[in-house]
């Protein structure tokens, strides 16, 4: 087969450049499990350093946190859940936004109400979730309950 003329090669290269490289592209927004684990670990380390018992994970709190983080990442908006799931119990919620898990946790600790929730002795369980928006912003939900 004879070689392709130069204009045909250029057109073929342009078409290939426009074709998707992979059909397994990351979904957007995406769950950030490692970021959520990092924040949960930092919360319990901070509680331990302050003489407060660590929080245990709760599947119910995790599920509601995941749904809330995903909704915030989809809309790229930070807001508190009305906590309807917390019927007649002591409950709280921290929501944060940043680029990294460390940045969000640092902001939590710099905010008196967020820090108070993290160190609240009445809380015994938590669910932590993080989701990354399509623009790369990390949105975090921490649900607390007694």
Residue 15: pLDDT over 70:
no
As a whole number, mean pLDDT of residues 34-60 equals 97
- When pLDDT is cut at 50, 70 and 90, the band that residue 26 belongs to is low
CB neighbours of 16 closer than 8 A, spacing ≥ 6? none
Tell me, rounded to whole angstroms, the distance of Cα 120 from its chain centroid.
22
Q: In this prediction, what percent of the chain has a pLDDT beyond 70? A: 80
Residue 7: pLDDT over 90:
no
């Amino acid at each position: 087969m004879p070689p392709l003329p130069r204009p045909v090669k250029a057109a073929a290269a342009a078409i290939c450049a426009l074709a998707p490289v992979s059909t397994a592209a990351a979904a957007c927004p995406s769950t950030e499990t490692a970021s959520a684990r990092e924040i949960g670990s930092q919360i319990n380390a901070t509680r331990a350093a302050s003489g407060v018992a660590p929080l245990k994970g709760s599947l119910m709190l995790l599920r509601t946190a995941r749904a809330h983080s995903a909704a915030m990442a989809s809309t790229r908006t930070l807001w508190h859940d009305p906590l309807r799931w917390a019927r007649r119990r002591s409950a709280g919620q921290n929501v944060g936004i940043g680029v990294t898990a460390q940045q969000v946790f640092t902001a939590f600790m710099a905010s008196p109400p967020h820090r108070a929730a993290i160190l609240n002795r009445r809380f015994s369980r938590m669910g932590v979730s993080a989701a990354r928006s399509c623009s790369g912003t990390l949105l975090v939900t921490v649900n607390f309950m007694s």
